[in-house]
Structure 1
Amino acid sequence: MSKQIQQPLAQPLKLGVIGGGVNSAVGYAHYVAAQLDNKWQIVSGFFSRDPSTNRQTAEEWHIPDFAQYDSWQAYIQAEKQNLDAVVVLSPTPKHAEMVCYLIEQGIPVICEKAMTANTGDSLKIKHALDQFGGFLAITFNYSGYSMVRELKKRIQDGELGKLLQIQIEMPSDAFINQMAQGKPQDWRLADGEIPTILLDLAVHLHHLIGFVSEKTPQKVMADFHHFSKFDGIIDDAYIWGNYSDDMKASIWLSKTAYGYKNGLNIRVFGDQGSAQWYQETPDILKITNRESVEMQYNRGNALNQDSIVERFKPGHPTGFVEAFANLYSDIADNLCRYQSQPEMFEFDEQVFGWDHAHEGLMMLKKATESSKKGCWVQVD
């Protein structure tokens, strides 16, 4: 039988929020996903520097006894005794300052991907963790889909044999769609050490490759492009990677691909078979065997039922928010273990922290270097 969502906690963990206001691209998804299984309750927040947006978010999210503060630091100082964790949903370039501050205050942190905008800021977080200890989980939410976890388990069980290559893509037309409303946020239109499109999309692709294969990048080659009306940024990228155990990876991400909205697609090829998962049909996993016979699995007939989370019976497809909620449920369980035995704590295989996030940033930094030089670049 498929497992139900893990047993509810005796009381929901109390979650504070920095950023993620009603004008945010990610805030509402976190608001819904965090509370879907009653393991978290959002009790307070500093959602925006704009007082009216801050207040409006609190009203729409039904935050009781909401208090308005002049800064996120003042919010943390006033509310930290009433929080089990804080989720950071600010723009990526602001993450490092906030995450380091929370770690120094002894507050467990959940951070929206990308962890930071550059590797230097990532190392600042590592220094804070080394100095103060603490709990830091990064929200790579696509591995929350049950059938992605099923794919991982099948690979672990050797069903595909030795992994030869992974092809993965995430195209959209966000920067060229003539029907798009408004201009992207300013921070998304400025590239730094790592182009912002890589921080937005490629960190997910690095994560999914590592999640399902348990391989690490060794060297990369990349070719970056600009096709949109927004000058001075990368908006389309190819990355090729050599991974541990001689596995190859081909990565494409774009915001200038007409007809795509979030075309996340992963294909895994081994010497005994292959597999494919496409996010727009999230409950379907296709497996092809050595005789090139294709089999199709879903939550109802998956072989590894422990990897399947059920809120409702198969045939009623799951989606983005449910996958995000699976991750939030796992983070809650990990935080409870951390609270009981912090000195013995390690994340389970569903939740990822600084090491994995930093590996992705290093890979993307080297990919940026490769695109400029036109050659392969070592990652490690």
Structure 2
Amino acid sequence: MHDSFKLGFIGGGINSAVGDTHFIASQMDGRFKVVAGCFSRHADINLQTGQKWHISAERCYSDMGRFLEEEKDRLDAIVVLTPTPAHVEPVVAALELDYPVICEKALAASVADARRIAEAQREHQGFLAVTYNYTGYPMLRELRHWINQGRLGRLEQIHIEMPQEGFARRSRDGNPMVPQQWRLMDGHIPTISLDLGVHLHHIIAFLSGEKPIELIAVQSSRGRFRQVIDNTICIARYSNGLECGIWFSKAALGYRNGLKVRVFGERGSAEWRQITPENFFYYDDKGRQSIIDRTHVDVSISCLPRYNRFKAGHPAGFIEAFANLYWDIADAIATTQQNGARWSGYVYGVPHATEGLIMLQAMARSSHENKWVNVERPK
């Protein structure tokens, strides 16, 4: 196995929502080591982040261009953790310098920006992986294996939801809970779609392998920040007759993160909830109901040693799922370096990310025009 890949972060400082998660997850299994970064444009945040993570001050940069140039022969990959609207510049700059790039979802804030990144990747034949962490959960991977084995039969419906309460809930002092400022601005694709909707598009594709064809959506503002969309309900038709119901919200009181997916086939159905990630429920066409965990006698994926850092009955969680994805990304980087092959079945890049943005853009258009719309194929 390759020695630990040396990582540099762009963004992800101590004032970031995702920095600690990526820092811990990337290093959990020894596949990566974070050794440098341009964590923030603010020198004080940069240095404080480096101090917290025991990174020398000499390798904490407040200028992205200087960081990329000076670390060129010292790093194996760059992780981009800036807010989504600010992804294009660092991703393209890193690709132009031949860094492998790992980018936090969403890849970009618009389809046009995603296509600009795609062009840079094609021109430089670069490596780019986008992190969709939820499909790092072993039981979702097991569920996909069951679907691919035909245990559910031909898929007919997927119903998936991701309700959260952040834009509706009050803090302990009775005031609204105010998110980061960039989350309170919408572009052609609402920010909630970039934050939550990308995950639902990804999970449907991950489980089914099908492509969105047409959809109708209703988008609204139901929480305390009426200048932005915070609730989306969508019905989508996919290839091979698959029909999907999709709901994501930040105005659903009572849900910290209510991610749930239900998959219905001709022979059986299954349900997985992120709040109880160690299990999924399986129902067959004879009325039998089963709870499947990662050491059930019928599992083949979730029982693998890499997913059992500790024995069943001691739940693994969100950061462990993220670490599973980082393991796959390390494999993908190593494979690409050795023979140019692409990739792991768990690692997704620019084409998939662009398809998701096209679908989310179609939701916004459908809601605005109040009608069914076609989902374009990525160019």
TM interval, shorter chain, is over 0.9
Partner of residue 358 from structure 1, selected from 346, 350, 354: 354
**In 1, are the aligned partners of 2:103 and 2:129 still within 8 Å (CA)?**
yes
Tell me which residue corresponds to 1:368: 364
C-alpha distance in 2 between matches for 1:214 and 1:369:
24
C-alpha distance in 2 between matches for 1:82 and 1:307:
35
Q: In the TM superposition, what are the counterparts of 1:9-48 in structure 2 within 5 Å?
A: 9-48=1-40
**TM-score relative to the length of structure 2:** 0.95
C-alpha distance in 2 between matches for 1:250 and 1:372:
19
Tell me which residue corresponds to 1:3: none
C-alpha distance in 1 between matches for 2:100 and 2:51:
25
Quick check: 1:80 aligned with 2:72? yes
C-alpha distance in 2 between matches for 1:169 and 1:111:
24
Tell me which residue corresponds to 2:343: 347
The structural deviation recorded for 1:11 is 1.6
**TM-score relative to the length of structure 1:** 0.95
The structural deviation recorded for 1:208 is 0.3
C-alpha distance in 2 between matches for 1:68 and 1:89:
15
The structural deviation recorded for 1:176 is 1.2
Aligned residues between the structures? 370
Tell me which residue corresponds to 1:321: 319
Tell me which residue corresponds to 1:335: 333
User: In the superposition, relative to structure 1, how do residues 312 and 219 fare at CA in structure 2: closer, same or farther (>3 Å)?
Assistant: same
**In 2, are the aligned partners of 1:265 and 1:276 still within 8 Å (CA)?**
yes
The structural deviation recorded for 1:98 is 1.1
Partner of residue 275 from structure 2, selected from 257, 276, 280: 280
Quick check: 1:200 aligned with 2:198? no
C-alpha distance in 2 between matches for 1:70 and 1:64:
14
Quick check: 1:152 aligned with 2:144? yes
Q: Using the TM superposition, name which of 67-76 and 146-155 deviates more.
A: 67-76
Tell me which residue corresponds to 1:304: 299
The structural deviation recorded for 1:69 is 3.0
The superposition leaves residues 114-164 of structure 1 with CA deviations (integer Å, 9 ceiling, x where unpaired) of 000000000001111111111000000100000000000000000111111
Q: In the TM superposition, what are the counterparts of 1:109-124 in structure 2 within 5 Å?
A: 109-124=101-116
**In 1, are the aligned partners of 2:261 and 2:272 still within 8 Å (CA)?**
yes
Tell me which residue corresponds to 2:164: 172
**In 2, are the aligned partners of 1:197 and 1:234 still within 8 Å (CA)?**
yes
C-alpha distance in 1 between matches for 2:313 and 2:62:
48
C-alpha distance in 2 between matches for 1:162 and 1:297:
20
**In 2, are the aligned partners of 1:58 and 1:66 still within 8 Å (CA)?**
no
The structural deviation recorded for 1:349 is 1.0
Tell me which residue corresponds to 1:221: 216
Equivalent residue letter for 2:342? E
User: In the superposition, relative to structure 1, how do residues 112 and 337 fare at CA in structure 2: closer, same or farther (>3 Å)?
Assistant: same
How much is the aligned-residue C-alpha RMSD, in angstroms?
A: 1.2
Equivalent residue letter for 2:368? K
Quick check: 1:210 aligned with 2:200? no
Tell me which residue corresponds to 1:131: 123
C-alpha distance in 1 between matches for 2:311 and 2:46:
38
**In 2, are the aligned partners of 1:153 and 1:307 still within 8 Å (CA)?**
no
Q: Using the TM superposition, name which of 56-65 and 217-226 deviates more.
A: 56-65
Q: Extract unaligned runs of 5+ from structure 2.
A: none
C-alpha distance in 1 between matches for 2:68 and 2:363:
37
**In 2, are the aligned partners of 1:265 and 1:277 still within 8 Å (CA)?**
yes
